[in-house]
Amino acid sequence: MREKEKKHLLDDSIFKALETKSMEELDAYFIPNLSPIDALRVILYKFLLSILFYKERIIAYDEEEDLHQLRVNIRKSRAFLKEFSFLFPEDQFTYFYQHLSDLATQTNRKRDLDVIKERLKEVDTDHDVIQKDIQAQQEHEQHLIEEMLKGKIFEDFIHTYQLVLQSETLHTPENVMGTIEETAREVIKDLHRKIIQRINALEKHFSDKKLHKIRISLKKLRYLLEEFQHIFGEKKIEKMIEKGKKLQTILGDFNDMVNQNTLLHDYFNTKKKSISQCRELEKRLLGKTSKKQKKLLHKAQKKLHKFKKHAIEL
């Protein structure tokens, strides 16, 4: 067997080795000479191990950061599946992506409540009654999440997903050609072009929906850059990631404010009879959050305009 072909082989021992690594070691693990599909198998397997790690922590400790990390690894899995969808047989892609999307959806409410509870403290201190109600909702959502993570649907999906990633059933004549470096370069450049196009469209006709899509695309770009910085250059990619983080933080804060306002509005609509001075409290809180939301939007638009001027070099 030629040396070039040997480099492209994915040994089953790799998956066993991954299972013994810490979260930090998993993040740093990468094989640049694998074929595109085999590299994706390794990357997705890493994310799967992280999902399982944080699943156990959520059940044992109920800490906000563990839920956040579980969601991050689900998002990363979906991002890599989506951006490299052309590598996967359609039925497998649909199965993986849909189940991961369902998992994420079932954690959305709890994560929003976690963020909003902390954000409200930054805006105003005089809302104990709301904090208590949010706490009760958090506990309810935590129970639902734990039941989902312990359930048969989750267990069956994880088992199937794990077996498929470990096997060679995902191979096709097309997706084993070349290396992941070549494929990743094209995928990253294409995603960057799409983001620029979306920013241009946003500047012509603004909408929250367009801004949300840009925020999601920037997250995907960051995930790709983080994973592939080992082959494109640590220092060069790190600079791109840092610039992207600042923009993502602003867009994330803006999105949190939008969700916060929606939750507060719905909350007050259902509590008008039980909370005295309900209208005054609603006006004060929504007034403060809306004001901050406008400032964040203005800042985000300026940063997005600057983002267009920076070319991506790989």
Using CA atoms, how far residue 256 sits from 24, 55, 103, 263, 303, in Å, is: 28, 24, 20, 10, 18
pLDDT at 1 over 50: no
Share of the chain above pLDDT 70, in %: 92
CATH dotted code for 179-314: 1.40.20.10
* Distance of alpha carbon 249 from alpha carbon 283, whole angstroms: 27
Task: Please say whether the beta carbons of 116 and 260 come within 8 A.
Answer: yes
Distance, CA of 238 to CA of 255 (rounded, Å): 25
pLDDT at 278 over 70: no
Mean pLDDT for the stretch of residues 182-195: 95
Report how far residue 30's alpha carbon sits from residue 9's, in angstroms, rounded to the nearest whole number.
Answer: 14
| Confidence bin at 5 (pLDDT 50/70/90) | very low
- ∠139-142-148 over CA atoms, to 5°? 150
Domains 10-177 and 179-314 equal at CATH topology level? yes
Integer Cα distance of 48 and 45 in angstroms: 5
Contact in structure between 271 and 106 (CB atoms under 8 Å): no
pLDDT in the model for residue 156: 97
> What are the tens digits of pLDDT across the range 74-89?
999 999 999 999 999 9
The answer, yes or no, to whether residue 273 has pLDDT greater than 60, is: no
Q: Which has the minimum average pLDDT: 26-40, 125-139, 168-182?
A: 125-139
How far is 223 from 220, CA to CA, in rounded Å? 5
CATH code at 10-177:
1.40.20.10
pLDDT tens profile 94-136:
999 999 999 999 999 998 888 777 777 776 666 677 788 888 9
Q: Tell me, what's the pLDDT at 7? A: 46
Q: What is the pLDDT of residue 4?
A: 43
* pLDDT, tens only, 213-252: 999 999 999 999 999 988 888 787 888 888 788 898 999 8
pLDDT given for residue 274 in this prediction = 61
Q: Provide the 8-state DSSP code for 175.
A: T
Instruction: State the pTM of this model.
Output: 0.89
Domain ranges of the chain: 10-177, 179-314
